[in-house]
């Protein structure tokens, strides 16, 4: 993947970057430097004149907060009859890592990243991280209203179907635990380590309900194994849970 040198001194490279950003966000950036920072990886170890790091991580933090704010206001207006807990769950579904990662992919944001790390070494979350940092950069460059418009244009209007999101499950593990606790069922996620024939470290997770084995899963990540076991348990018990 060919990367654009965001801090190149020649004017044509900066103009190319600015045009690329404009094609994504729908307007010409005023402060190109803040967008350059939004696509600078910490592996470059860039710092400003005061020694503070220049990378996308702080903008990612800011963008996450702006996203939550805009989506919260949207849900507050659209669901006047729902309580805090329900609105919080709906917001989590909309700004889930899965959704943000897909947005980052759709916008080809990784193409703009300046980094010392090979692109095949990134996890999937890099796409969502860059989307959040882009939102943070828009906020600093143009303010809240323009940033809000971008979020509506890229997320809320094209993707958010509230009826569909009501049914979406973001954590099978959380759903299973909540259901078990509500009904006072005894449950357990039993975790076992295993070294595969390929020397890879695996986790085997078994889910028990009232001492009865309901499901099991095997993954290289403990978290993923637990979530998969919970997902299989949910579909096995769906008639009772629903």
What residues act catalytically? 64, 132
**Centroid of chain to Cα 123:** 11
Q: Do 72 and 87 contact (CB within 8 A), yes or no? A: yes
203 DSSP β-pair partners: 193, 219
Taking the alpha carbons at both ends of the chain, their separation in whole angstroms is: 46
The residue among 113, 117, 93, 116 whose CA lies nearest residue 104 is: 113
DSSP code, position 221 = S
Q: What angle do CA 193, 120, 25 make, to 5 degrees?
A: 120
Integer Cα distance of 215 and 123 in angstroms = 28
């Amino acid at each position: 993947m060919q990367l654009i040198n965001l801090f190149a001194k020649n004017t044509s490279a900066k103009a190319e970057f600015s045009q690329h950003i404009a094609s994504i966000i729908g307007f010409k950036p005023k402060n190109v430097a803040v967008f350059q920072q939004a696509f600078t990886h910490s592996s470059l170890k860039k710092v400003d004149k005061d020694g503070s790091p220049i990378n996308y991580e702080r903008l990612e933090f800011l963008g996450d907060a702006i996203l939550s704010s805009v989506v919260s206001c949207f849900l507050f207006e659209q669901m006047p009859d729902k309580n805090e807990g329900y609105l919080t769950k709906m917001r989590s579904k909309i700004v889930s890592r899965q959704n943000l990662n897909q947005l980052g992919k759709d916008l080809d944001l990784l193409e703009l990243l300046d980094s010392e790390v090979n692109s095949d070494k990134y996890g999937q979350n890099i796409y969502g991280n860059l989307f959040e940092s882009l939102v943070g950069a828009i906020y600093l460059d143009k303010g809240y209203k323009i940033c809000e418009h971008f979020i509506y244009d890229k997320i809320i209007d094209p993707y958010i179907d509230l009826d569909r999101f009501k049914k979406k499950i973001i954590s099978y593990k959380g759903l299973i635990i909540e259901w078990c606790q509500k009904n006072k069922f005894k449950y357990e996620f039993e975790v076992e380590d295993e070294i595969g024939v390929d020397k890879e470290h695996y986790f085997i997770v078994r889910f028990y309900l009232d001492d009865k084995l309901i499901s099991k899963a095997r993954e290289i990540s403990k978290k993923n194994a637990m979530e998969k076991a919970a997902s299989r348990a949910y579909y096995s018990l769906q008639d009772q849970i629903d």
